Structure 1
């Protein structure tokens, strides 16, 4: 007879985060835990159950068959908790509730703020836990019940998810007006891939750009990393290097002296963003209301 497993909701949330990230380190960060605390919780889970839940390797971790079973039930528990919170919020005006929203860099920095702000002002008892992630990570998080809502590129695997159009996110090159690349109105990434770049210090968009370079056999030569799109635009305008930013960000900073904007022609530079929720069940009331609010405007009007 197997010994009874002793765990709490934090253990389940951590285990799901680790499985979906394929990394104990990333899972710990997602749950706000230190690596040592997360590792100890996972070891205790395995010790209590008397069974290995994770296979640990040089490239990360993967769930064992027992781990897959635990992840399945943990997802169900998290979904039921979300539904419970939503239903309780409907019956108690004084109860605060939280909507978990994961979105890519362009949505977090450019497209969401003007839509999210009025909704939150109108719903003072609803908090939004907003996390920036890559689109494939967002899809996994929503499927796993770690987020009620995602905003992602519809180019990734969205099986099991319901999608609603949100925005068209176009990436452009920003540079000084006398930079050679500004002689054309549009160019491909291959034309600038060997140049010095100014980019973000971290984030899903920067990871996406560097992944495209890696697919072409290059490692970007990063001359400077900054905290936001404004920093990229200012440094690019000064001739420090070229940058790649969402078109909405480039146009917002067009007033920056001497900033030139050139369209990227690569397919990956045009991303159709969608709002995603789990197909098999409707989000709790606050999350559903936010989804309907975000989807209320045509994609062409986003960020303009």
Structure 2
């Protein structure tokens, strides 16, 4: 059995794009050449690696095993180049980082700005994802560092404290629910679901979490409008147009007059964690970033 790095990178591209054609394009290979490489890998292993169908191609069980190893090998090669690059001018390396909505908007801008100022030759590829997707990506080697909610299963990863991030229900002081609650400072999420909500636009991981929690309760999360950013949501809520779920930090930071109520649901009393697959296996610059982000236990 003999695979080269082009074979492994091609297989990663096919698996992630769901198509041999797209994988070939991403790998800068002609389609016949890409198909021949996949056949060669399957013949060398005597096992099918892809399940081909009308909608494209997806890895078989053996293919998923190969995918995990391919990601590990290609990442090790990237780490090698990045570590050696510190001896030359230019970037020292790149860290692939995934985080949830709250982390990317509330906590990371200041922390990363300070770190990058002292590490000018490092770049960070930062993306927003759902916490459970982040766990899988870090476990598979598709990301170096993740920031997740403590509500998800992360047994396969190493985790470190990052920030407390409780969620609160916010409303205008004159909203009917505010009058109904009186002096009550705490309530269950289900009690709010009969009212309209203001949400976040796009494929927000934060927004998706609220929808999923409502679904678990057998209720519908009705969103009248979706806006970009917690600040815009706060302004709309202050006008009385609806309720919103916000991180307590974002709710307190806004200048609008809002009534904040704690949620009694366990998922709302959340903490954010940094997760990695293996701290010792990270390249030096990624370990430096991890150390800068970690909160003392």
The TM-score bracket by the shorter chain reads 0.7 to 0.9
Hey, what's the Cα distance between the residues in 1 that align with 2:287 and 2:55?
A: 37
Hey, what's the Cα distance between the residues in 2 that align with 1:293 and 1:261?
A: 32
Q: What is the aligned length?
A: 281
**Who is 2:67 aligned against?**
71
Q: TM-score, normalised by structure 1?
A: 0.81
1:1-304 matches, cutoff 5 A: 7=6, 11-15=10-14, 17=16, 24=18, 37-38=22-23, 45=34, 48-50=37-39, 51=42, 52-55=48-51, 63-182=59-178, 183=181, 184-202=184-202, 203-253=204-254, 255-256=255-256, 258-279=257-278, 281-295=280-294, 297-298=295-296
Kept in 2: contact 1:90–1:285 (CA 8 A): no
Deviation (angstroms), 1:156: 1.8
Change (3 A) 1:6 1:211: same
CA RMSD of aligned residues (A): 3.0
Kept in 2: contact 1:16–1:74 (CA 8 A): no
Hey, what's the Cα distance between the residues in 2 that align with 1:231 and 1:7?
A: 46
| Worse-superposed segment, 208-217 or 149-158 | 149-158
Gaps of 5+ in 1: 19-23, 29-34, 300-304
Deviation (angstroms), 1:240: 0.9
Hey, what's the Cα distance between the residues in 2 that align with 1:61 and 1:201?
A: 31
SS at match of 2:86: helix
Q: TM-score, normalised by structure 2?
A: 0.83
Q: Rg bigger for which structure? A: 2
SS at match of 2:270: strand
Kept in 2: contact 1:86–1:285 (CA 8 A): no
Gaps of 5+ in 2: 43-47
**Runs of 4+ with deviation above 2 angstroms:** 2-18, 35-63, 89-96, 180-184, 279-282
